[in-house]
Amino acid sequence: MSPSNPHIFQAQPGGQARREKSIFWIFRIATYVVLACGFFVFGDIIIKGSRTVFQSEFPFVNTTFLFTAPESLYVFEHEGVKREMGDREFRAFREAEEARARSEGRVPAQIRAQSYVYSAGGIWPCIVGTVLLVVGSMTIALSLGVSSAIYLNEYAKEGPGVRFIRLAILNLAGVPSIVFGLFGFGMFVIFFGWNVSLLAGWFTLAFMVLPVVITASEEALKAVPRGFREGSLALGATKWQTIRKAVLPYALPGILTSSILGIARVAGETAPIMFTAAYVVRDKLPWDVESVSDFFFQGVMALPYHIYVVSSKIPQNEYTERVQYGTAFVFLGIVALIAMTSILLRNRLRKRYQW
Partner 1 sequence: MEPVLNAEEPKPFAIKKTRTRFLGLTLDETIQTFFGGNAFVAVIVLALITLFLVKEGAQFFTQNRASMTVYRQAGLEYVDLMRQQEEDHIALTRYLFDVRMQAIRQYTDAEGLPLADANARLVAFDEWSGQYSDAIEPVRGLVSELTDVASAIKTKFTIAEDKAIERAQLLDEGKTEEAAAVVIETVDFKTELAVLTGTLPMFKEASVDFAGQLTALLPTAPAFSDAVLQARMDRFVALTRQYLDGFPEVVRRMETWDFEEPIPLARSFTGFIFGRQWLTASFWQDWYGVIPLFVGSLMVSAVALTLAIPLGVGAAIYVNQIATAREQRLIKPCIEFIAAIPSVVLGFFGIAVLGEALRALSQFENLHWIPGFPIAERLNALTAGCLLALIAVPTIFTLAEDALNNVPRAFREASFALGATRLQTIVKITIPASLSGIVSAVLLGFGRVIGETMVVLLCAGNRIAIPDFTAGVTVFFQPVHTMTGIIAQEMGEVVRGSIHYRALFMVGLVLFVIALLINFIAQKIVRRYRISIG
Chain positions 200 to 219 lying near partner 1, rule: CB under 8 A, are 207, 210-211, 214
**Contact window for partner 1 (CB under 8 A) among 89-97, 100-108, 146-154, 221-229:** 146-154
Structural contact between residues 85 and 94, judged by C-beta atoms closer than 8 angstroms = no
CA distance 64 to 121: 6
State yes or no: residue 74 binds partner 1 (CB under 8 A). no
Task: For residue 53, state whether it binds partner 1 (rule: CB under 8 A).
Answer: no
Is residue 107 a contact point for partner 1 (CB under 8 A)? no
**Could you say which DSSP state residue 187 is in?**
I
Angle CA 188–191–193, to nearest 5: 70
Binding flag, residue 181, partner 1 (CB under 8 A): yes
How many angstroms separate the Cα of 160 from the Cα of each of 156, 167, 215?
A: 11, 10, 19
Segment lying near partner 1 (by CB under 8 A), choices 69-77, 95-103, 185-193, 289-297: 185-193
- Kindly give, in sequence order, each residue whose CB lies less than 8 Å from that of residue 9, ignoring residues fewer than 6 positions away: none
Q: Which of 116, 185, 194, 202 binds partner 1 (CB under 8 A)?
A: 185
Q: How far is the CB of 171 from partner 1 (least distance, A)?
A: 5
Return the DSSP state at 61: B
Looking at the Cβ atoms of 55 and 177, the one nearer to partner 1 is 177
Beta strands in the chain (DSSP E): 70-78, 81-86, 113-121
**Interacting stretch for partner 1, rule CB under 8 A, among 60-68, 74-82, 88-96, 177-185?**
177-185
275 CB-near residues (< 8 Å, 6+ apart)? 181, 182, 184, 185, 189, 196
CA distance 81 to 74: 14
Task: Pick out residues in 257-286 that bind partner 1 (CB under 8 A).
Answer: 261, 264, 267-271, 274-275
Contact present, 296 and 122 (Cβ < 8 Å):
no
Give the integer Cα–Cα distance in Å for 161 and 148. Answer: 13
CB of 78 to partner 1, least distance (A): 30
Contact between 201 and 276 (Cβ < 8 Å): yes
Judged by CB under 8 A, the chain residues 20 through 39 that form the site for partner 1 are: 20, 23-24, 26-28, 30-31, 33-35, 37-38
Instruction: Decide if 113 contacts 87 (C-beta within 8 A).
Output: no
The verdict on 138 binding partner 1 (CB under 8 A) reads: no
Residue nearer to partner 1 on the CB measure, 93 or 308: 308
Task: State yes or no: residue 41 binds partner 1 (CB under 8 A).
Answer: yes
Nearer to partner 1, 22 or 103 (CB): 22
State yes or no: residue 15 binds partner 1 (CB under 8 A): no
Longest dimension (CA), the chain: 103
Using the rule CB under 8 A, is 170 a contact of partner 1? yes
Report 236-255 residues binding partner 1 (CB under 8 A). 238-240
Which listed residue (308, 341, 349, 353) binds partner 1 by CB under 8 A? 308
Which residue lies nearer to partner 1 by CB, 85 or 263?
263
Binding of partner 1 by 171 (CB under 8 A): yes
Distance CA 189, CA 33 (A): 43
Least spacing, CB of residue 30 vs partner 1, in Å: 3
Q: Does 343 bind partner 1 (CB under 8 A)?
A: yes
Q: What secondary structure letter does DSSP report for 280?
A: S
113 versus 140: smaller Cβ distance to partner 1: 140
Separation of alpha carbons 347 and 254, rounded Å: 10
Residue 336 binds to partner 1 (criterion: CB under 8 A)? yes
If DSSP codes are grouped into helix, strand and coil, which group holds residue 78?
strand
